[in-house]
């Protein structure tokens, strides 16, 4: 054992040893309790990992190592979310090819993870852009297709000019592309593939109740799904026998207050019903709405605009004809793309009616008879007024009455509407899994590629730049494009769009159970052993994309009888974001990125790991501060010194004092509990505290138990130094194969306690007594105190509260 703690020296040595010993390779073992630990599938970016990313990987590693010591059979794998726009965009920017850059970047990530001592089972490494992986991504596409969950439809969809592709709704953030926050998305009409995630809306919602996820994430999913109950009703268009305006409303009770109707500008009825004299203004408005960037159109703060179509609808409740307008505050993608406007009860309709001088009937009044707030709609529930047969009913009863009324007369029905749309999965881009279908030219239509012909290989293209025409570059590859129909053998063309990258990450957690399996996406037996994931760790930014998609796929697999669980991630935790020292996001362009490489070089991997754990609560965001690494490096040097003293004294074998033993066991209890609850910062502070205590002892007072349990507890957090110290203590095998120290509550029990005495809520005295001293004795001792007497100032105690072994509170 060296005199001085030299992190780099021992770290490189032990990392090589571990790799040689295959220490972290997982094997199925039905006799042992499994623990599947997983971090969210990382996209290996060219910038490599920063110390911010490590705030995810290091704590996970601690959990994995700790669970292993605690007797669990741990599966902790790693792989690469390699397909998708980020990888392709990066390669385009650098004039390189993603097939070259991605493996290189992944290697770099792997190197960095090893550099900081993270223990993964690298034999299970996967890469979603490799054919042996995306073959099964394609297989899942076909599964969804077979189950009627993948379909093709024409739609006006989000388009990012920089990515030159269509985006899913979830991938549009503040009206901009999720990868380009400076690029407003526009609309483009294309025929696209969708996954029918809305068919799972209710189950995705219900499933949230049974899983242990951070409440904010569940809430975000609930809001994203956005379930609303109401009714879908149709009002006939005056003078158009066949046509009606069908609309969804959550407030059918306000039908008597409907004074006009509004269609989305894209609504198919617009062309049909617009009268000749309104045609030019309507067409102009529709055209403008299409052109306008979504960021403008989506702003709730913007003043509402619209134009009259010249047509009227018949409101069967009021028996009046009401004007039909179009306005861009009505969205084609929600409900039926049309609304009944009840301006007295809906603030948006109110604003619109005010602006265009439309009638504003009042049909709901506050239930308590108070006057409604003037100048705005009364949107709350209340009592229905001026509404024929509904008058006098409370809102809830009126809703029910209208639903029954329209159902009886065939005017409409109860309906549920979701904010969530179907998941658009076509990408007009090169770097993704080709969608495995062909279009037969002899009338077979859309034909799925048979399972045994998978994978549909992504051709190796030199020029893979997106065309911008709305077709993927694969369309320019004749040998890819032209094929035979699997059904009739006739001429056919392949689908040239690729799958959204999120498809890859929707099932990867299953692949890790049997990453080289060839008879299916996963070996059912192995998947059955390892899954579901016991602890899933990742950033909150995936609340509505990856986490929703993965849940849906899992439910599809469950329905198909492939797996026995319906939720892939029963326990989810979010690590807090680490901001740069300047409080901004770490990014290369801002020049504020701190790399693990630099920190390991300067301080060592273990000190860096400890600082990642110690800097704050795992789930809270905080700013990077390099100074802290000095502290954890110093701490480890002191641990080193402690062990050197103990070993230097010949490893005295004597029993430690009861007091020392008590401290040791209390520390075991604290560290275990805090690691389990992912409170790494306080787990480490308990170890620091313990070190401060042990450092004050002579080697022969420490005792082997204290020293060894200390090294064992350090092992998950600082694996290299712990390994070195373990060997220095004379052990032959790895510290990481040892059992976690056993906590003995008997030995941890305090014999004496400090009791505080309060007078009128202020601490005036404290004394030490034996634990479990009878109440009467403690009370009398408290009252005997000179300080207590002084503060009582002669007054008799009115009341005395006694908390055993803790406090006496005297009220005077």
- Of residues 527-546, which lie at the interface with RNA (CB under 7 A)? 540-541, 543-544
DSSP characters for 630-655?
A: HHHHHHHHHHHHHHHHHHHTT---PP
Considering only the stretches 200-208, 236-244, 526-534, 799-807, report the one whose residues sit in contact with RNA under the rule CB under 7 A.
799-807
- Of residues 215-274, which lie at the interface with RNA (CB under 7 A)? 215-216, 219-220, 223-224, 226, 228, 230, 247-251, 264
Considering only the stretches 66-74, 353-361, 632-640, 711-719, report the one whose residues sit in contact with RNA under the rule CB under 7 A.
632-640
# chain residues binding RNA, by CB under 7 A? 89
Q: Which of 384, 229, 250, 245 is closest to 315 using CA atoms? A: 245
Among 94, 104, 147, 302, binds RNA (CB under 7 A): 302
> Of 680 and 743, which CB lies nearer to RNA in the complex structure?
680
Strand 320-327 versus strand 260-263 pairing type: parallel
> Of 681 and 738, which CB lies nearer to RNA in the complex structure?
681
Q: How many residues does the chain have?
A: 812
83, 196, 388 from 552: Cα distances, Å: 20, 10, 45
Q: Which of 347, 262, 331 is closest to 294 using CA atoms? A: 331
Determine whether 156 is exposed, middle or buried from the number of CB atoms within 10 Å of its CB (0-12, 13-18, 19+): middle
> Of 53 and 297, which CB lies nearer to RNA in the complex structure?
297
DSSP characters for 110-151?
A: HHHHHHTT----GGG-EETTSHHHHHHHHHHHHHHHHTT-EE
Residue 346 contacts RNA per CB under 7 A: yes
Among 617, 645, 727, 729, binds RNA (CB under 7 A): 617
Q: Bridge partners of 312?
A: 323
d(CA 724, CA 63): 21
Cis peptide, bond prior to residue 713, ω within 30 of zero = no
Residue 766 contacts RNA per CB under 7 A: yes
- Of residues 190-219, which lie at the interface with RNA (CB under 7 A)? 215-216, 219
Considering only the stretches 90-98, 184-192, 703-711, 750-758, report the one whose residues sit in contact with RNA under the rule CB under 7 A.
750-758
Using CA atoms in the order 506, 508, 513, 515, what is the torsion angle rounded to 10 degrees? 140
d(CA 810, CA 551): 57
132, 134, 488, 592 from 516: Cα distances, Å: 8, 13, 33, 40
439, 445, 658 from 152: Cα distances, Å: 12, 12, 73
- 373 near 382, Cβ under 8 Å? no
**Dihedral over Cα of 112, 115, 116, 118: its sign:** positive
> Of 84 and 335, which CB lies nearer to RNA in the complex structure?
335
Hunting for tokens 């690729």 — which residue is that?
Answer: 498
DSSP characters for 409-474?
A: TTSEEEEEEES---EE-EE-SSSSPBP-EEEETTS--EEEPPGGG---PPP--S-----SSSS-GG
Instruction: Give the shortest CB-33-to-RNA separation in angstroms.
Output: 28
Phi and psi for 37 in degrees, rounded to 5? -110, 130
Instruction: Give the shortest CB-404-to-RNA separation in angstroms.
Output: 18
- Of residues 48-67, which lie at the interface with RNA (CB under 7 A)? none
Instruction: Give the shortest CB-228-to-RNA separation in angstroms.
Output: 3
- Of residues 483-502, which lie at the interface with RNA (CB under 7 A)? none
What is the 3 state secondary structure string of 472-503?
Answer: CHHHHCHHHHEEECCCCCCEEEECCCEECHHH
Cis peptide, bond prior to residue 250, ω within 30 of zero = no
Residue 754 contacts RNA per CB under 7 A: yes
Q: Which of 560, 530, 458 is closest to 135 using CA atoms? A: 458
Instruction: Give the shortest CB-488-to-RNA separation in angstroms.
Output: 42
Residue 631 contacts RNA per CB under 7 A: yes
Considering only the stretches 46-54, 403-411, 550-558, 611-619, report the one whose residues sit in contact with RNA under the rule CB under 7 A.
611-619
Hunting for tokens 């503040």 — which residue is that?
Answer: 174
> Of 131 and 226, which CB lies nearer to RNA in the complex structure?
226
> Of 601 and 620, which CB lies nearer to RNA in the complex structure?
620
Among 68, 304, 494, 555, binds RNA (CB under 7 A): 304
> Of 101 and 249, which CB lies nearer to RNA in the complex structure?
249
Residue 339 contacts RNA per CB under 7 A: yes
Q: Which of 196, 195, 188 is closest to 471 using CA atoms? A: 188
Among 1, 23, 331, 562, binds RNA (CB under 7 A): 331
Angle (CA) 317-323-324 rounded to 5° is: 105
Instruction: Give the shortest CB-347-to-RNA separation in angstroms.
Output: 8
Instruction: Give the shortest CB-287-to-RNA separation in angstroms.
Output: 17
> Of 331 and 562, which CB lies nearer to RNA in the complex structure?
331
Among 88, 266, 328, 567, binds RNA (CB under 7 A): 328
Hunting for tokens 């290091």 — which residue is that?
Answer: 58
- Of residues 655-684, which lie at the interface with RNA (CB under 7 A)? 679, 681-682, 684
Considering only the stretches 111-119, 324-332, 380-388, 460-468, report the one whose residues sit in contact with RNA under the rule CB under 7 A.
324-332
Considering only the stretches 299-307, 443-451, 551-559, 562-570, report the one whose residues sit in contact with RNA under the rule CB under 7 A.
299-307
d(CA 69, CA 54): 22
Residue 807 contacts RNA per CB under 7 A: yes
Among 86, 568, 616, 699, binds RNA (CB under 7 A): 616
- Of residues 348-407, which lie at the interface with RNA (CB under 7 A)? 348
Burial 540-578 (b: 16+ CB within 10 A, else e): bebbbbbbbbbbbbbbbbbeeebbeebbbbbebbbbbbb
Instruction: Give the shortest CB-332-to-RNA separation in angstroms.
Output: 7
- Of residues 567-586, which lie at the interface with RNA (CB under 7 A)? none
> Of 196 and 487, which CB lies nearer to RNA in the complex structure?
196
Among 329, 431, 726, 743, binds RNA (CB under 7 A): 329
Considering only the stretches 16-24, 28-36, 101-109, 689-697, report the one whose residues sit in contact with RNA under the rule CB under 7 A.
689-697
Long-range contacts of 462-469, Cβ-Cβ distance < 8 Å, separation of 24 or more:
462/97, 464/88, 464/97, 464/98, 464/430, 464/431, 465/92, 466/163, 466/164, 466/165, 466/428, 466/429, 466/430, 467/164, 467/428, 468/164
> Of 153 and 581, which CB lies nearer to RNA in the complex structure?
581
> Of 124 and 304, which CB lies nearer to RNA in the complex structure?
304
Residue 295 contacts RNA per CB under 7 A: no
| Distance between first and last Cα of the chain | 63
- Of residues 78-137, which lie at the interface with RNA (CB under 7 A)? none
Considering only the stretches 93-101, 277-285, 362-370, 624-632, report the one whose residues sit in contact with RNA under the rule CB under 7 A.
624-632
d(CA 72, CA 700): 35
- Of residues 401-460, which lie at the interface with RNA (CB under 7 A)? 417, 419
Among 360, 365, 397, 688, binds RNA (CB under 7 A): 688
Phi and psi for 710 in degrees, rounded to 5? -65, -45
Considering only the stretches 470-478, 492-500, 617-625, 709-717, report the one whose residues sit in contact with RNA under the rule CB under 7 A.
617-625
Instruction: Give the shortest CB-352-to-RNA separation in angstroms.
Output: 8
- Of residues 69-88, which lie at the interface with RNA (CB under 7 A)? none
Among 299, 453, 469, 784, binds RNA (CB under 7 A): 299
Residue 630 contacts RNA per CB under 7 A: yes
Among 281, 293, 321, 623, binds RNA (CB under 7 A): 623
Instruction: Give the shortest CB-293-to-RNA separation in angstroms.
Output: 12
Residue 297 contacts RNA per CB under 7 A: yes
Q: Bridge partners of 80?
A: 127
Among 174, 453, 739, 784, binds RNA (CB under 7 A): 174
């Amino acid at each position: 054992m060296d005199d001085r703690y030299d992190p780099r020296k021992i770290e490189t040595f032990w990392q090589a040893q571990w790799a040689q010993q295959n220490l972290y390779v997982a094997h199925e073992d039905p006799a042992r309790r499994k623990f599947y630990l997983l971090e969210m599938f990382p996209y290996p970016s060219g910038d490599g990992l920063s110390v911010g990313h490590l705030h995810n990987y290091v704590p996970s590693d601690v959990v994995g190592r700790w669970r292993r010591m605690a007797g669990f059979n741990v599966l902790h794998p790693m792989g690469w979310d390699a397909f998708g726009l980020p990888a392709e965009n990066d390669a385009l920017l650098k004039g390189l090819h993603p097939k070259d850059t991605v493996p290189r970047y992944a290697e770099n990530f792997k190197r960095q993870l090893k550099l900081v001592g993270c223990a993964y089972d690298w034999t299970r490494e996967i890469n979603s852009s490799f054919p042996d992986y995306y073959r099964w991504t394609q297989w899942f596409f076909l599964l969804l297709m077979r189950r009627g969950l993948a379909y093709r439809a024409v739609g006006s969809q989000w388009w990012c000019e920089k990515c030159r592709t269509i985006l899913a709704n979830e991938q549009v953030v503040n009206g901009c592309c999720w990868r380009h926050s400076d690029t407003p998305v526009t609309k483009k009409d294309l025929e696209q593939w969708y996954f029918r995630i809305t068919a799972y809306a209710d189950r995705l919602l219900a499933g949230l109740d049974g899983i242990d996820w951070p409440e904010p994430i569940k809430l975000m999913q609930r809001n994203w799904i956005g379930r609303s109950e109401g009714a879908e009703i149709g009002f006939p268009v005056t003078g158009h026998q066949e046509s009606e305006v069908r609309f969804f409303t959550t407030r059918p009770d306000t039908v008597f207050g409907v004074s006009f109707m509004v269609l989305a500008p894209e609504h198919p009825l617009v062309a049909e019903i617009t009268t000749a004299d309104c045609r030019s203004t309507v067409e102009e408005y529709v055209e403008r709405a299409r052109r306008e960037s979504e960021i403008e159109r989506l702003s709730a703060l913007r003043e509402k605009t619209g134009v009259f179509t010249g047509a009227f609808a018949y409101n069967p409740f009021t028996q009046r004809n009401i004007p039909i307008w179009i306005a861009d505050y009505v969205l084609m993608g929600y409900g039926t793309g049309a609304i009944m406007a009840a301006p007295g009860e809906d603030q948006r309709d109110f604003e619109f009616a005010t602006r265009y001088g439309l009638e504003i009937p009042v049909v709901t009044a506050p239930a308590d008879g108070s006057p409604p707030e003037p100048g705005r709609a009364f949107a709350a529930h209340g009592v229905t007024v001026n509404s024929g047969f509904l008058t006098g009913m409370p809102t809830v009863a009126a809703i029910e009455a209208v639903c029954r009324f329209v159902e009886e007369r065939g005017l409409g029905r109860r309906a549920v509407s979701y904010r969530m749309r179907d998941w658009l999965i076509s990408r007009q881009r090169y770097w993704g899994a080709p969608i495995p279908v062909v279009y037969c030219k002899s009338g077979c239509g859309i034909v799925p590629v048979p399972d045994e012909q998978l994978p549909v290989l992504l051709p190796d293209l030199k020029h893979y730049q997106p065309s911008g025409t709305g077709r993927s570059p694969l369309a320019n590859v004749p040998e890819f494009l032209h094929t035979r129909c699997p059904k009739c053998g006739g001429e056919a063309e392949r689908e040239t769009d690729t799958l959204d990258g999120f498809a890859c990450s929707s099932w990867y957690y299953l692949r890790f159970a049997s990453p080289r399996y060839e008879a299916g996406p996963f070996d059912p037996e192995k998947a059955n052993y390892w899954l579901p994931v016991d602890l899933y760790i990742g950033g909150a930014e995936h609340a509505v994309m990856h986490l929703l998609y993965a849940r849906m796929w899992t439910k599809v697999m469950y329905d198909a009888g492939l797996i026995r669980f319906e939720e892939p991630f029963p326990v989810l935790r979010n690590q807090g974001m680490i901001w740069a020292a300047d409080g901004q996001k770490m990014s290369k362009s801002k020049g504020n990125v701190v790399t693990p490489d630099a920190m390991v070089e300067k301080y060592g991997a273990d000190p860096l790991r400890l600082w990642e754990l110690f800097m704050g609560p795992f789930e809270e965001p905080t700013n990077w501060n390099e100074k802290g690494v000095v502290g954890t490096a110093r701490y480890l040097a002191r641990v080193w010194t402690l062990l050197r003293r103990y070993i230097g004294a010949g490893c005295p074998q004597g029993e430690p004092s009861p007091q020392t033993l008590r401290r040791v066991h209390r520390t075991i209890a604290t560290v275990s509990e805090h690691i389990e609850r992912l409170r790494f910062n306080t787990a480490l502070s308990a170890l620091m505290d313990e070190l401060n205590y042990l450092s004050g002892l002579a080697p022969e007072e420490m005792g082997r138990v204290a020293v060894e349990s200390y090294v064992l507890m350090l092992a998950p957090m600082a694996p290299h130094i712990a390994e070195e110290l373990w060997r220095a203590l004379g052990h032959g095998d790895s510290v990481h194969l040892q059992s976690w120290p056993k906590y003995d509550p008997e030995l941890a029990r305090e014999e004496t306690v400090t009791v505080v005495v309060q007078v009128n809520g202020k601490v005036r005295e404290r004394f030490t007594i034996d634990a479990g001293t009878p109440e009467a004795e403690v009370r009398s001792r408290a009252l005997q105190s000179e300080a207590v007497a002084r503060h009582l100032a002669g007054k008799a105690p009115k009341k005395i509260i006694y908390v055993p072994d803790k406090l006496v509170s005297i009220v005077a």
